[in-house]
Structure 1
């Protein structure tokens, strides 16, 4: 096992005390887990939501998933050979891409690969993302799923939502016999269109989970062999 460099002083960006304390905590956690687990996996988590993070941490309860500011994570691993905490850990530091988390685990690489290659979550599209579908709200009574399922399987949207439909979503709705109504169909978005905040909110309101979230595997560090495997 290579010599530990835990005692080496590394300067973190100066900030307020609370922010500095959090950076130091994450820095120490990364190094502590490098000492504890055999593997350190670099995961791309672009677009991850808190609920998904909680699920991942629950399913990998025997391991440790750490997220934090990229520079803090890189500093903990070491930017250069001179600063690296473990032999070759600076090689992992150079492979950061996007929003990154580090999964520390003793599970064999095949187990980790199989899990994340099969893992996906349907999610609501966000503002500035591309719409993967065409979505149009049909003419007539406005139902909770906006025409995605048959009317006899759906329920009319509550009339109390009409102000939100008109004022927030800018839909030309009216109230007829206590139900929200559209005089004609309303095209919300087309496939490939860049969504603004309003359209993303409309899709979420009607339960259109048309985006898919997947975890990207970037690389992993093996504490036993001190090698980095790029994926």
Structure 2
């Protein structure tokens, strides 16, 4: 088992002052995980929401996930060969950027890869998501008929041409909810969620891994 190259106490001088001690708690937990687990993965994620991610955490209760605070994770693990906690760990640290997280686990590479390769969960799209299909609401369709009549003002603010007739909301013209190959805007995202269309997918992609017993680093995509 490789030994740590340095003390576990890290001065987080390159991040903002931590009045609540939250960053220090993250540092301590990261250090514990470096000692406890044999494998560390950096993963990227798209369209993440709380509920499905917590479900993954529950399934992987014998492992540990970290999200956010990229700078803290980089400093704690070590950003170069002089500051890294373990030999070659700084190669993994270099991959901690953007929307990503860390997975500490003792599961085999095959177990980890097979799970995340097959995992996917439909989610509501956020503004900026590129639609993979075209959805058009047709004029005079009954799509808004069950909505409360008080929704008419809100729908018009979102750009939908509706009028209230006999207490029922009627669509007066075709409306493009989303168009294949084009990013959706804020109003479209709100309407897609309002109407129950989940056109995005929560997906986790493994970027790289570090195997502690052999101190080896491997890129995965």
Map 1:147-166 → 2, pairs under 5 A: 156-166=146-156
Map 1:78-227 → 2, pairs under 5 A: 78-143=78-143, 156-167=146-157, 169-227=158-216
Alpha-carbon RMSD? 2.0
Distance 1:6 1:142 in 2: 66
Question: What displacement does 1:213 show?
Answer: 2.2
Distance 2:114 2:152 in 1: 46
Q: Which runs of no fewer than 5 residues in structure 2 stay unpaired?
A: none
Task: Report the equivalent of 1:74.
Answer: 74
**TM-score of the two chains, using structure 1 as the length reference:** 0.86
Question: What displacement does 1:209 show?
Answer: 0.6
Task: Report the equivalent of 1:18.
Answer: 19
Contact 1:26 1:68 survives alignment (8 Å): no
What secondary structure does 1:44 align onto? strand
Which digits, 9 at most, give the CA deviation of each residue in 1:97-131, with x for residues without a partner? 42111111111110000000000111112112222
Query: In the comparison of the two structures, how many residue pairs are matched?
Result: 219
Task: Report the equivalent of 1:6.
Answer: 7
Distance 1:141 1:7 in 2: 63
Q: Are the structure 2 counterparts of residues 14 and 80 from structure 1 closer, same or farther at C-alpha, using a change threshold of 3 Å?
A: closer
Q: Which runs of no fewer than 5 residues in structure 1 stay unpaired?
A: 145-154
Distance 2:67 2:13 in 1: 16
